[in-house]
Amino acid sequence: MNVERVYHTNVPVAGLAQALADHFRAQGFETQVFETTDSRTVVQARKDDLWRQLLGVAYAVTVILTSTDGRLVVSLGGHEWVDTAISAGIGLVAVPPVLLGTAYGIWKENQLDQEVWRVIDERINASLATSTSTPA
């Protein structure tokens, strides 16, 4: 499921992308930031060890940032739902602890989404506070 929010701000996309990458890197995530050919900046973060995959708790988040004419569009999506669904199916017929791992993975991905929105909101609010407190 993809979620999108639109902000009316001139916050630099590169700085916002770096803030997101730094936030997740500090929590032990593998991260990457890159630009696409259509002027979007993509931030990806994941925790994907072998034991996480076996238990169905590998999780990832993809954030797509686009800025035009004072509008910042943030799209969230790209979770590894296929892996989670497969481990859920295995957990139902084979190993109940795997099902618990799958439920945890789904819950954790939801938490990642909330972290993304919190980091973005904090960054935009800090930018607004700085621009309104600058003396004329």
pLDDT over 60 (residue 20): yes
Residue 50 CA to residue 123 CA, distance in Å, equals: 34
pTM over 0.85: no
Residue 2 CA to residue 120 CA, distance in Å, equals: 17
What are the angstrom distances between the C-alpha of 84 and each of 94, 100, 125? 15, 11, 35
Q: Residue 38's pLDDT band (boundaries 50, 70, 90)?
A: confident
Task: Mark out the alpha helices in the chain (DSSP H runs).
Answer: 13-25, 50-55, 81-93, 96-133
pLDDT over 50 (residue 88): no
Q: Residue 52's pLDDT band (boundaries 50, 70, 90)?
A: very low
Rg over alpha carbons for the chain, rounded to the nearest Å, is 17
Q: Give φ, ψ of 105 to 5 degrees.
A: -60, -45
Q: Residue 89's pLDDT band (boundaries 50, 70, 90)?
A: very low
* Domain extent listing, the chain: 3-127
pLDDT at position 84: 41
Amino acid identity of residue 6, one-letter, is V
Q: Residue 60's pLDDT band (boundaries 50, 70, 90)?
A: confident
Domain 3-127 indexed as CATH 3.30.310: yes
